[in-house]
Chains A and B, each alone.
Chain A
Amino acid sequence: MSTRTRTLVRASLVTLVVIAATFGLDPFRNFQLATAAAVFAAVAGLTVLVGLTGQLSLGHAVLMAAGGYGYAIASSSVVAMTSDDGAAAVTGSGASPGAAGTLLPFLAGLAGAVVVAGVLGLLLGLAAARLRGPYLAGLTLALVIALSSAASVIGPLGGDQGRAAPFLPVPGALAALIAVEQWHAWIAVTLAACAVTPLLILRAGRAGLRMRAVHDDETAARLAGIDPGRVKAGAFTASALSAGTGGAALAIVTQNVSPGAYGLGFSLLLVVAAVVGGLGSLGGAAIGSVLVVTLPWAADQLAGTLPADLTARLDGNLALLLFGVVVIAVTLAAPGGLARFLPRSRHA
């Protein structure tokens, strides 16, 4: 088997195992799993970008939001078109449209997410190709702050309220078997797998080698016939596509995209997840994403047992404090992140 086939087989197996595991989780855990899967897609894109090419993007939340908006707008406009044409058919067949009725908006939404996030990522990548560390960080930071501004200035983005994404019900054949949270977890996990597997292949192949070469010594890479600008722009675009798919998954799970959900705090959390997991490691990105989703929840559970006054103050902040300490500790003491504790494959 070639490396690529092996990667594909392994990725499918892991996806199937995770989907099977959803049967052991209650609806809330499944919701958390779906969120973590969506975050994982974005963190995976970020960790490949930072770890392999050394470009620090603080704006991956905006790329996620781009995917979410792309999904919500494309999907809901397809829903609006089909319901205009076949309103009688839909009302005739009962309240919930059939599998074909949700498949088309879903696919259109995904296409929208990929196009919007891809175009934004390409534009950013072209800028990033010319910028070094702090300049790129500054540009992406300004981008995060401009998101809510863009949402209120650009009409179709729907201001602070954001856009609603159409609800995806459980298909009829599965309706008796699984709850909607579990179904959404399946979708999110599958989307994350579709987003991350190409990154795995990219990283293991020629493109990954070029990225590392550009990161290590740009001049030497140039002498070896590599165009650093093109490699950086390509890496940024690939990373944005993954983040955009994650955004689409999050839009499906929460049925909404709003600028408030993709603020500066969330964007920094994505960086935290990538750093804690170990920059460049996709397994580490998975660990980091799960931490980013579950640690705030666990901290709030813990704070909930304390007196009400203290709870209000600790709400959300305890987890932030922990993340801050962990990020500093990991960067200083264990730059490899948690991925060091994962079994290493020979091809990594």
Chain B
Amino acid sequence: MEGTLNLVGFGLAAIGPGIATGLIFAAYINGVARQPEARSVLQPIAFLGFALAEALALFGLVLAFVL
């Protein structure tokens, strides 16, 4: 078996952002379900939060290849 431990590290690093993304969209869905007219206000906020959380996972991906 060949390979690099970086990929295991990336797998571990992706857990946090994965949970974070789930929480962000759970909150967004909850918000829209309770108040459907707030959708247009909540949408950019949800995607912003998603983008910020996802950036962490992607740093892990980049580092997995760079290191």
Task: Determine if chain A interacts with chain B.
Answer: no
- Partner-A contacts on B (CB < 8 A): none
